[in-house]
Each structure stands twice: as C-alpha cells, then as structure tokens.
Structure 1
C-alpha cells in the first residue's frame, strides 16, 4: 500500500510566491484541515502546500513501533513530503525559503523527513512529534541545517508521543546545527494551543 501524490493548496499561487509552507496533517486529519490552520500563521505571502495521506493516515502503527511494521507506508509518506518539496523547488523557490508545519503524526513525518534531508530550510514547527522508530537510527540522519529555526512543542504527558522522544529529537536537530526551541506544556492534551501558534510565528514565520 502506498500514497498517491495529492497536494492541496492555499495562499499565494506557487509560481508567484517567493516562499512556501508545507503543512503535514495528523492521523485522521486532512490536508484541508491543516491548510485552514495556516490562516493563523504569518504566511499570507507564502504558497501553502499540504499533501493528503491515503485514508487520512500516513502509516498504520505508532511512530514508536519498529520501522519495518510501518512499511511500505512510511517510505511512501516520506516520498510524498519529498515530492511536495520538489514542487516548490521546481517553481523556483529556494530551499532556504521552504518552511514546514506538522501536527502529531504529521509532525513525526515532518521531523523524520527533515533529519534525513538536513539543509538550510526556512524553518519548521512540529507540534507533538519526534523522529520515527522503536529505536533511533542516527545513521539515517545526514546533512547540516545551517541554523534553520525549528520549534518543537508538546504536552507532557501525551498518549502518543513520549516527551523523552521530543527531547531526543531536539538533541539530534541541535547536533545537525538547527536552532531549536522547545516548549512543553503540562497536561495540555493532544492538540494545538494559541501560544504555540504565537511562538511558531515569532520563531519560525518571522
């Protein structure tokens, strides 16, 4: 089973925009749901792109499951993010002007893609997510973020994402020269709050 490239769009037309935001929805969500969130971000001049997962799920099991259990869906999902980035690059947008926003399963997928393809991006906000796998395979993560700002936020506890994995992900990002900001909310629950939006705007979407 694999995903088919299906990119929903909002904001400025891709060929006219100088910046692009790639938004990755969570399990059970949709590209349109997360595109609606872009109205609250400082991205009014950006082209906003959101790939849609087949059956609203990027991979079937927990992101903490052994990677093999989530294949071939995981590899296909990573390819969908890569193809969305390629659409922005092909439209003439430089990698340092490409931004990311992911929530929950979409945050995990975003972080896994970024750490496997580290370079100077515009920035990323990942709400409740971490790199994928029962064990962290550091050999998968290559490149240099060259100061790319990354905002990680989560609730502690969160039923899907242990806070320890968020911290471990932050450490990997820092090792790869990202400028990481973390924010942990006690007992907030599995959702996005207003402060996270404001912090994403001040740290990433300046």
Structure 2
C-alpha cells in the first residue's frame, strides 16, 4: 500500500543511511513493504545483510521511531537512538546553509547538494555532469556544479547570503581568487560566483568525518553518477 508520509519516511531513512555510512552501515527500503505510517528497510553492515528494521512516523507528534528487534547487532540498535541521529551528528545551523559534494565513479560525474534553513532541510538536488569538457576534472566538476546550483537557488528564491559547507579546498580558493583558475571550468566558476551578487560564507569541513550533512550529500553525489 502507499503511504501519505512516504516522502518523510524515505528522507529520514536516507538521512540515517548518511549518518551511519562511516560506520559501515547501509539501508535499502523494501518498496513492497510500505504501510500507512511505516516502512521496512533491509540493513547491511560492510555489505552483508544483518536483518530488517522498521521506521514509524507519528504525525500527531511529528516524531520517528525505529524498531530494530529483528537485527542482531547491538551497536546498530544503540546508534539508531533517535536522539543520536537527530542531534549528535548534526551541527547547529542558524540561518541559511548549504552542503555540496561531487563524485566520480566509472567515468561518470555526479553532484549533490542540500539547503538548510535553521537546521531544517528545505531543498536538495542531485544530478550528473554531462559536459565532456568538464569530465576530465572528475569529482571537482561535480563539486563546482553543486555550488553553482546553490547560488542559482538563492537568486531564484530572493536570498542574498548563504553559508556553504564543502570538503574540497578549491571550492573557496577559486571563488576568492586565491588559486589561479587555469581551466575553462574553474574560470567560469570563479566568474559566476563573483558576479552572482550572493554573499557566501565558506566553511571547510573534513570529508568522511561523520558530519551528518556532508555524508548525506556524498550519498547524493554518488547517486548522481548513476545517470
């Protein structure tokens, strides 16, 4: 059956997947197991199946609850504590923030981004980079594409400033002119950011350090390489 809360349940599982990826866990929704207020997902540890969990949503309380009784993994059951997933792996973001990332897999480049308003996700995007001229830059072209998409979104929605969190140094350095843009891709990127009229506060974070939203956009970017 279909669920009126499918998008919320799916998003929560995707966030959970991103939060726990660095610990070797992954989750795959069983599309034939939807219920009105719940969904079931297959759980994996380092690629091996370890059972199934069910995620419930309570619309009156606007809260989520995990049922992991069929999983024989004490560490995962402890990590699935809602407080841990909703707080400890996320930074406290006030105002408008974005996370961006790029990925290169088997000759394909993907990008991913998420935009937050006061800690709440309000937009995300994922896609592939198809311009042959940019593919030689590999995942860097995906990172720059994601920043461009964020700035476009800001202009379309009347925002004049945003904090962008990134893990590749060139994102900031080319934009500020600290690195010389030698290739058409980086030259166009630097010019686009400079002329956008958007005031960007740049915040570099360490890749794969357990930051919730960094892991989240990493997953999105990898999905973007699938076409």
Structure-1-length-normalised TM-score: 0.32
Structure with greater strand share of residues = 2
TM-score (norm 2): 0.29
Larger Rg: 2
